[in-house]
Amino acid sequence: MSDRLVLLGSKGGPALRPGGPWPSSSLLELGGRAIVVDCGLGVTRGLVDAGMSLKALDLIFVTHLHSDHVLELGPLIHTCWTAGLATPVTVYGPPGTNDCWLHFCRAMEFDIEIRIVDEGRPDIRDLVSVKEFGEGTVLAEGGLTVTALRVDHPPVNDCFALRFEHGGRGVVFSADTAFFQPLAGFAKGADILVHEAMLEEGVERLVARTGNGARLREHLFASHSLAEEAGHIARDAGVKRLVLNHLIPADDPAIGEADWVAAVRKTWAGDLTIARDGLVVGLSGQKAASGEETV
């Protein structure tokens, strides 16, 4: 397994629109581990399309409990189970993640019980361990280290950036956050920084077409980062590549990749990738995978 990052879902927010991208989820293959980061709607389909065997599900990390990051957590695990998963899965998430999993299992109790008896499957509830985390070291196992930093995503208090390191390589996910300068220190020298991004002109059009535009606008600007702010963090961190992800808006026909590039180039002159669903990003020192576009 080559080290790579696959952006499974690239849009910010839970809504789906015809022909548009899916909400947040990523696959990080690092040090021989297949790591799912966030489980927005569409994560299972994205993993299949990325070529991952569902029976190989191993590690899941949830940055926070907004629906566009956790809605498909239970369905992902359950679908992997019906595909033949019979090995342990560990889910790492903020406080409340275990409740999400337990309530899902309760909702699916009829199906789970009947498949155990009728199809001879192991009990899915025995396969899954949920470990809730706060700031600091989350995992140190087999050369893989994962650390967490609480970021600024009001009104969600337990929202965490994550740094994955193995064999001298590092990949950082900002999670959802307003501009947060400590993130630059947390991401220092990383091979890839995956950072959320908004375009101000797109936000104005987005809120104009919703019924709660004023409240939505207030939330977006209090809780998320503009593309140029993501570039500021990448520059201060000295990362090798910035990946703009969790794009807001991601489905405005008046906005193209050139608009994202123009915004982030105000603050970031280095290697840059603008996310789209299914895009593969190779880690530094490797040839870019097919399908990867860089600017």
Sorted by where each begins, the domain ranges of the chain are: 4-282
Please, which contacts does 119-128 make with residues 24 or more away whose CB atoms are closer than 8 Å? 121/81, 121/82, 121/86, 122/86, 124/77, 124/78, 124/81, 127/81, 127/85, 127/86, 127/87, 127/88, 127/89, 128/77, 128/88, 128/89, 128/90, 128/91, 128/101
Count the alpha carbons within 13 Å of 179 in the hemisphere toward its beta carbon: 11
Q: Which of 3, 38, 58, 68 is catalytic?
A: 68
**126 is annotated as an active-site residue:** no
- The single residue listed with the structure tokens 């909400």 is 23
Token pair for 131: 């470990």
> Tens digit of pLDDT per residue, the chain (295 long)?
689 999 999 999 998 988 899 999 999 999 999 999 999 999 999 999 999 999 999 999 999 999 999 999 999 999 999 999 999 999 999 999 999 999 999 999 999 999 999 999 999 999 999 999 999 999 999 999 999 999 999 999 999 999 999 999 999 999 999 999 999 999 999 999 999 999 988 888 888 877 667 788 888 999 999 999 999 999 999 999 999 999 999 988 889 999 999 999 999 999 999 999 999 999 854 444 444 444 4
CATH (residue range 4-282):
3.60.15.10
